[in-house]
């Protein structure tokens, strides 16, 4: 169990994390909990949600879990409304939920293309839309959207559907930052490079090596690397930063 810091960087800030049942989303939830956040975890996989929540707080008192399909507006609005009813506010949103369906374009059906955009891009839009009215009313909020190196530059093994969805997140982030900035809401994105997760550890080592071609450092990317970047962008330490995409990729892509 991770010990919660009483006066952490995110002390008592209500933080929604989507895609929190594993991988990067789970790592972000763990880092935020350690820094004192009041967590609200959303994911389609209910069992994974409660596994994460119970490992952090066996009492079940300090973490809310909502099994939620982020592509369904009614489910998202229900989760957001219940969060505000229980905790009174929403300070931080981390949009981490996403899927990957890689196929060569000749083999990719329209359903394969649209389903990935529906989860990765439209889902991000739906959750942002649901929380922004509450953040605007408060006069403050932090949103961090998880994009990808695949949305920054063409990469092998991700698929045009995934790349398009993650590039769309960058555009959404930039425009939304300008739209809600005057209301005190900050919107940024993180574009991770190849990250070692339960899923990518199943990829053949030679494929993972191809994803890392051009890396400037020897270290493999870990979910915790993205979590630390998310913590910075969600905290008041980044209060002069909005509309940016922070590249966390070991130097594979340097602008």
Residues known to be catalytic: 162
C-alpha distances (whole Å) from 230 to each of 61, 123, 149, 184, 247 are 24, 19, 16, 18, 11
Rg, the chain, Cα only: 17
Determine the Cα–Cα distance for residues 42 and 14; give it in Å rounded to an integer: 13
Please name every residue paired with 39 in a beta bridge, in sequence order, or none if there are none: 15, 63
Nearest to 66 by CA among 58, 84, 55: 84
Question: 219 with 236: CB under 8 angstroms?
Answer: no
Burial class (CB in 10 A: 0-12, 13-18, 19+), 253: middle
Residue 190 in contact with residue 229, Cβ under 8 Å? yes
């Amino acid at each position: 169990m991770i010990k919660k810091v009483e006066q952490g960087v995110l002390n008592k800030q209500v933080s929604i994390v989507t895609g929190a049942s594993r991988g990067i989303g789970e790592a972000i939830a763990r880092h935020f909990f350690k820094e004192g956040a009041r967590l609200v975890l959303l994911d389609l996989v209910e069992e994974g949600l409660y596994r994460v929540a119970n490992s952090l707080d066996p009492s079940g008192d300090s973490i809310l879990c909502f099994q939620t399909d982020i592509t369904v507006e009614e489910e998202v609005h229900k989760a957001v409304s219940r969060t505000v009813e229980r905790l009174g506010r929403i300070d931080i949103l981390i949009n981490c939920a996403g899927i990957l369906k890689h196929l060569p374009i000749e083999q990719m059906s329209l359903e394969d293309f649209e389903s990935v955009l529906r989860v990765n891009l439209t889902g991000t839009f739906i959750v942002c839309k649901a929380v922004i009215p509450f953040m605007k009313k408060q006069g403050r909020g932090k949103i961090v959207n998880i994009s990808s190196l695949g949305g920054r530059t063409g990469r092998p093994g991700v698929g045009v559907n995934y790349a398009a969805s993650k590039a769309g997140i960058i555009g959404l982030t930039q425009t939304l930052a300008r739209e809600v900035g005057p209301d005190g809401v900050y919107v940024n994105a993180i574009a991770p490079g190849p990250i070692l997760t339960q899923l990518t550890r199943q990829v053949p080592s030679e494929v993972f090596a191809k994803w890392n071609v051009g890396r400037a450092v020897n270290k493999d990317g870990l979910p915790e690397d993205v979590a630390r970047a998310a913590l910075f962008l969600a905290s008041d330490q980044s209060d002069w930063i909005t509309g940016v995409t922070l590249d966390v990729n070991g130097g594979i892509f340097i602008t």
